[in-house]
Structure 1
Amino acid sequence: AHNQNTQKPETKFEVYPAALFHQTTNYGLAGGGGFAFSHDNSKLLVSSDATGIFNAYTISMDGETTALTTSEDTPFFAQAFFPHDDRIIVQGDQGGNELDHVYIRKEDGSLRDLTPGDKLKAQFRGWNKNGEIFYIATNERDPSSSDLYAYNASDFSRKLLFKNDKMNLGSISPDGHYLTLIKTVTSANADIFLVDLSVENAEPILITPHEGNIAYSTYTFTPDSRKLIYATNEFGEFNQAWSYDIASQEKKEFATADWDITNISYSPSGRYKTTSINQDAVSVLEIYDTKTQKNVKLNNLPQGALSQVRFNSDETMMAFGLNTDTSPRNIYTANLATGDTKRLTSALPEGIDENNLVTASIIRYASFDGLKIPGILYIPKQASADNPVPALVWVHGGPGGQSRKGYSATIQHLVNHGYAVLAANNRGSNGYGKTFYHLDDRKHGEEDLMDIVSARAYLESLEGIDKDKIGILGGSYGGFMTVAALAFHPEVFDVGVNLYGVTNWERTLKSIPAFWGAFRDALYDEMGDPATDQERHHKISPLFHADTITKPLYVAQGSNDPRVLQVESDEMVKAVRANGVPVEYVLFPDEGHGFMKRKNRITNSERIVKFLDTYLKGKTND
């Protein structure tokens, strides 16, 4: 991954301000459910936060960008071009409330909301093969179920295709005949149903009858719409790909790997097939040419994670994203005949020398019971035996979730300012097999927390780490783990940084929005139902044990957060302040669960480093 470690002699090490790290532009290619190339193949449709908030843009084949939406408050995400003209489909919510609407941007620049209403959540679900119909799911009829509608591309009239009963919508076949549904029974057990959309009021048919715990999900249909490619973990620890023949109902092994196969997709005719694998927290992508029966080789690319592969209509070109630890995702095109690639974007700002950023290494450390815990370790350039640096354990969101290799502005800013970061993938994380994933079921805040506590001993064993200055930082479920560590293991970490973390599980589980549908039931299965498991939820909730917290705490929260309500952070801050402990509380009135606006991300990063400089780096041991 680049040659960070063999530094060029002319690179003078510099410490950069937070603004520069977040001045990076985040790019995303328009959705896989549609057309990312324009009808004449002259440009690509992308989402970009170049202005500080996401909007839709086109990028020409020589890298020229044109803004299509210019919102200053609501992020808009590009979904697809129309297949025969320059109209586009975009999606966006209101201030982080997660109630997305789907809009058409007409060629005159005006926006039309196809899903008006103030309580509904809508989602673009792709185009059919001929480009005359596109699909949108909305929960306007029942907040806990998304129904599927077909929209006419010329007059936007719509027809209800499928009335859903709390299942998750899966894939739609290219010819528009079939829909898959995922019924999540528990976090370990799911089924696939097939619906024939050409039959009026068709009943979903179960195609994965099984006993015991097997998790099924769908990747895609084959381009001829005859087979469904689906994921199953029936035959081992990891998700592998199988095919289901719709006519014969025959199931066959389709693709295997030593890790989870996370995605399979096709070019329009099916000539090219892409397979994505989550290989030890590194995203690996293969592009297979069925005509030559060889993998496509791409030339002159930095080593990194390829994602978001999109093909043009005649399959001469493909576009994709590539990110590394030291650069956010850039958009590239590739000539499929020659393998030659071209970078269209510059995600890093000019003021940052990539050689000053840090490439992470994948490590394993032993937990309290000997279980090996995977982690991603970032060591600052400044660190040495003579100059030991403070360290942070970074805890990802969840339950589930995984820290992966790739660019993080927040992490690189911390590391650049002299903080080592260990992103720990505690038991219960995705990506390491179903046994590891389910080790924390109904035991959240117990053994998974001990994995995080055990990370301290590993960090203390490393040369170049100041053994007296080790803190903990996390967002969402990771924020819960952060405050739980301070409450239940008050002597382990020296400071805590909690970003919109759950601190009162009783309230959070009761207040989960209805639009989570079946996912809410699976979460209750994994975390425990608030109606029957209240005692355990009380026991693991840091809010009710705040009197034990003695170490400085930083808390950041969005006022519009529908998952972790602002009142949670308000109460937690008040309780810890009552102990006479320093607490810094940063509230963003225009954010939800996670911070979307660049100005707020910069403020948050600046305040975190200032807090750590005072209470961790500046800590005296007296």
Structure 2
Amino acid sequence: MNTRISLSFALVGSLLLGACSSGNNEVESTMAKKITPPALIDRAVLFGNPSRFQGRVSPDGNKMSFRAPLDGVMNLWVGDKGNFDSVKAITKDTGRGIPSHFWSKDSNYIFYIQDQNGDENWHLYSVELATGKTTDLTPHANTQAQFLGQSKDMPGIIIAGMNDRDPRWHDIYKVDLASGERTLLQQNEGYAGFVLDNELNVRLAAKTLANADMEWFKKDGEQFTSFLSVPYSDMRTTQILKFDNDNSGVYMLDSRGRNTAALSHMDLASGKLTVLASDDKVDISSILFDPDNHTPVAYSVDFIKPEWVAIDDGYKDDINTLNSQLSGGAQILAQSNDNNYWTVYTDNSNSSPIYKVYDRTTKTLTDMFVTNPKLNEVSLAKMYGVVIKSRDDKDLVSYLTLPLESDMNQDGKPEAKVPMVMLVHGGPWGRDIYGYSPVVQWLANRGYAVLQVNFRSSTGFGKEFTNAGDKQWGKAMHTDLIDAKNWAVKQGVTDANTVAIMGGSYGGYATLAGLTFTPDEFSCGVDIVGPSNLQTLLSSIPPYWTSFRQVFVNAIGDPDTDEGLALLKERSPLTYVDEINKPLLIAQGANDPRVKQAESDQIVDAMKARDIPVTYVLFPDEGHGFQKPENNLAFYAVAEAFLAKCQNGRVQPIGDDFDNSSIQITHGAEFVPGVPSTSVNE
């Protein structure tokens, strides 16, 4: 199996016409375009459904599956490997579509997950390929399911977590695929998570302590006994991955006693720890395991671009072949049971991503499919990795994308200044990576440079960098963005007064922080599901995040102390709403369980009470971000018109991009040119 490491706990102005006009005049007088820009790329090409996505080869190596539109909705399709004439849809969803799927080890079932309108109460479904029967394996109201494991030696069952007994804790069940019946294996009494051995037994459990340290326990009979303590400083960069072949030890990522997370093996009886792979600059990010003997055979590291490294000599030719044929990003997503076929996702920044199949017997890499062939018919911009120094000498791994008219030599060195958008990632325990992004290409095509910054608190660059963001929301995490902005100005990418800020989740918070804490640094902001009040954010976290609440408290502030409350108020954009003097667009999903609608409502209401202009877009059938392509098209149509007004970029008319969308513009539609009156719901 390929283990892709993710340590992210996603919480991831005054629209004065004079200010906007002044900004536009400045843009026109300082941004000289040397060449005619490329044709506008239709938003439907960028934000509509791809032709196919999420390709997988079945574990027996005979079939393939993928997500693709059926009557405009992303559904699951299955056929013979390499034969698209044989494929047929095995689901017929008519709502938000199916976001993710995977195979049973015996290749008899397809599993997929789905929630309702973004509420994140994920249910786990199976489709029996022989009969077409679809079964909800977790048919309980207001329940979130977690898939925990399966084994090719134990066909017909899976292990899943479900929190229907107590929304805070996921109990562990064995589920029979034929009948859907479940059998309780472990009632969860306050554990953050469990690890199964290769025989699907519950063997290990983790618990977050009151000080946010992580304690690991071994199951002896019916009792759990402590065997490993992970201090808070390491808990976001240390985790147990899986058991070894004889179930006597575990493979883990471990940053204890070092900065970056190393791939290690721990013998459970003796506690002996052996480091198998490490890198001084970055954490180990993805690991490829042999499906038969459960040993790690290769890993990847990702500083600016991912690079695969073989551990097992028997895999060196395979890894060298992959690295030699891939110029961008590459993820090994799935393996056949005999390990002869690998499903590989390949990703260059300026072309459509491609799913490929690597055949280990012939050492060949062939296309499974291009995800969006229409992208290869338009002009896309290149992404460049850059390292920017923060004011306290930290390396901020960042990505700069220039519009083609400012990158004539295709070298990442601007030929002419253009307006810029700082695009801030969510989390904040996540990171920006190299590769194709529809949002980045949309912005670049409209004439904006795009800068993505891995500010402190971002993951993947060692625990010291991640931990440096603790208690720094709106402070050092924000000054990293300002330092990156100043770098871009110094490099001649843009001018200081033509930089917008935009992002979702934490990136939405950063947008609000930019317009309140530093109101003169950015020309305007686009906030997508961003928290405005850190106190209410912490008081309304989902119940299933109870085990990690203290981690958030340590990182943001403690609402149970006077000092912590003062800190949360100080770092909340809502506190400084009077400082907003630049245009602001806010977008929210009504069903968001992480950053609740109240976070956007609060700051919009405060701005309305002070007669500070703001545009507020609400989607009643979305959650933490927007999944339906119709809603994405509608939102980016509004955002494009909004940015064009304050940044003077190019704009495609909204046209029919609101068709079939649930979009409601509940306030401030008059501040966005071209908004249809039918969408206004003030």
Fold match by TM threshold 0.5: yes
Which residue is 1:229 aligned to?
251
How much does 1:188 deviate?
Answer: 7.5
Q: Is 1:615 aligned to residue 639 of structure 2? A: no
Question: Aligned partners of 2:470 and 2:119: how far apart in 1?
Answer: 28
**Post-superposition CA distance 1:451-499 (Å, at most 9, x none):** 2222321121123424431111111111111111111111111111111
- Which secondary structure state, in structure 2, belongs to the residue aligned with residue 204 of structure 1? strand
Which residue is 2:224 aligned to?
204
CA contact (8 A) 2:391 2:483 kept: yes
CA contact (8 A) 2:38 2:445 kept: no
**Post-superposition CA distance 1:272-311 (Å, at most 9, x none):** 7454434224333345555466554336844122224322
Which residue is 1:3 aligned to?
none
Superposed, 1:3-402 pairs within 5 Å as 13-23=38-48, 25=50, 27-29=53-55, 37=58, 39=60, 41-48=61-68, 53-58=73-78, 60-62=80-82, 64=84, 65-84=87-106, 86-107=108-129, 108-132=131-155, 133-185=157-209, 189-195=213-219, 199=221, 201=222, 203-209=223-229, 213-215=233-235, 216-258=238-280, 259-270=282-293, 273-286=296-309, 289=312, 291=314, 295-298=318-321, 301-327=325-351, 329-350=353-374, 352-353=376-377, 356-383=379-406, 387-402=416-431
More divergent stretch after superposition (607-616 vs 183-192): 183-192
Alignment equivalent of 2:597, drawn from 566, 578, 585: 566
Question: Aligned partners of 2:359 and 2:315: how far apart in 1?
Answer: 16
**Post-superposition CA distance 1:289-344 (Å, at most 9, x none):** 55466554336844122224322122222222222222454321111022101111
**Post-superposition CA distance 1:203-226 (Å, at most 9, x none):** 233332467843330122234434
CA contact (8 A) 1:549 1:579 kept: no
Question: Aligned partners of 1:262 and 1:188: how far apart in 2?
Answer: 23
CA contact (8 A) 2:37 2:404 kept: no
Which consecutive residues of structure 1, in runs of 5 or more, have no partner in the other structure?
1-10, 31-35
Relative distance call for 1:16 and 1:308 in structure 2 (3 A) is: same
Give the % identical residues: 27
Which consecutive residues of structure 2, in runs of 5 or more, have no partner in the other structure?
1-35, 408-413, 651-682
Relative distance call for 1:569 and 1:178 in structure 2 (3 A) is: closer
Question: Aligned partners of 1:369 and 1:171: how far apart in 2?
Answer: 39
- Which secondary structure state, in structure 2, belongs to the residue aligned with residue 99 of structure 1? coil
CA contact (8 A) 1:538 1:544 kept: yes
CA contact (8 A) 1:191 1:217 kept: no
RCO (CA 8 Å, sep 6+): is it higher in 1 or 2? 2
Question: Aligned partners of 2:380 and 2:420: how far apart in 1?
Answer: 17
CA contact (8 A) 2:345 2:356 kept: yes
Question: Aligned partners of 2:247 and 2:572: how far apart in 1?
Answer: 48
CA contact (8 A) 2:249 2:268 kept: yes
Which residue is 2:678 aligned to?
none
Higher helix share: 2
How much does 1:370 deviate?
Answer: 4.3
- Which secondary structure state, in structure 1, belongs to the residue aligned with residue 419 of structure 2? strand
Question: Aligned partners of 1:372 and 1:313: how far apart in 2?
Answer: 41
Q: Is 1:587 aligned to residue 618 of structure 2? A: yes
- Which secondary structure state, in structure 1, belongs to the residue aligned with residue 618 of structure 2? strand
**Post-superposition CA distance 1:361-386 (Å, at most 9, x none):** 22233334444433111111112677
Relative distance call for 1:602 and 1:111 in structure 2 (3 A) is: same
How much does 1:541 deviate?
Answer: 1.3
More divergent stretch after superposition (284-293 vs 552-561): 284-293
How much does 1:505 deviate?
Answer: 1.2
CA contact (8 A) 2:64 2:79 kept: yes
How much does 1:501 deviate?
Answer: 0.5
Question: Aligned partners of 2:627 and 2:135: how far apart in 1?
Answer: 23
- Which secondary structure state, in structure 1, belongs to the residue aligned with residue 514 of structure 2? helix
**Post-superposition CA distance 1:575-621 (Å, at most 9, x none):** 334555442222111110011111111222222121111111279xx
Question: Aligned partners of 2:381 and 2:435: how far apart in 1?
Answer: 11
CA contact (8 A) 1:319 1:332 kept: yes
Which residue type is aligned with residue 543 of structure 2? A
Question: Aligned partners of 1:452 and 1:83: how far apart in 2?
Answer: 45
Relative distance call for 1:245 and 1:370 in structure 2 (3 A) is: closer
Superposed, 1:461-480 pairs within 5 Å as 461-480=490-509
How much does 1:22 deviate?
Answer: 1.8
How much does 1:431 deviate?
Answer: 1.8
**Post-superposition CA distance 1:502-526 (Å, at most 9, x none):** 0011111101111113122211222
Which residue is 1:412 aligned to?
441
- Which secondary structure state, in structure 2, belongs to the residue aligned with residue 465 of structure 1? coil
CA contact (8 A) 1:390 1:419 kept: yes
Which residue is 1:445 aligned to?
474
Question: Aligned partners of 2:380 and 2:168: how far apart in 1?
Answer: 44
Relative distance call for 1:219 and 1:284 in structure 2 (3 A) is: farther
Relative distance call for 1:345 and 1:24 in structure 2 (3 A) is: farther
CA contact (8 A) 1:229 1:243 kept: yes
Question: Aligned partners of 2:350 and 2:195: how far apart in 1?
Answer: 34
Relative distance call for 1:292 and 1:459 in structure 2 (3 A) is: closer
Question: Aligned partners of 1:238 and 1:330: how far apart in 2?
Answer: 31
Relative distance call for 1:195 and 1:27 in structure 2 (3 A) is: farther
- Which secondary structure state, in structure 2, belongs to the residue aligned with residue 473 of structure 1? strand
- TM-align CA RMSD: 2.8
Question: Aligned partners of 1:574 and 1:14: how far apart in 2?
Answer: 40
Q: Count residues in correspondence.
A: 598
Which residue is 1:33 aligned to?
none
Relative distance call for 1:289 and 1:233 in structure 2 (3 A) is: closer
Question: Aligned partners of 1:546 and 1:434: how far apart in 2?
Answer: 34
Which residue type is aligned with residue 410 of structure 1? V
More divergent stretch after superposition (308-317 vs 497-506): 308-317
**What is the TM-score normalised by the length of structure 2?**
0.81
Question: Aligned partners of 1:170 and 1:51: how far apart in 2?
Answer: 40
Relative distance call for 1:207 and 1:268 in structure 2 (3 A) is: same
Which residue is 2:653 aligned to?
none
Question: Aligned partners of 2:352 and 2:246: how far apart in 1?
Answer: 35
CA contact (8 A) 1:82 1:131 kept: no
More divergent stretch after superposition (510-519 vs 166-175): 166-175
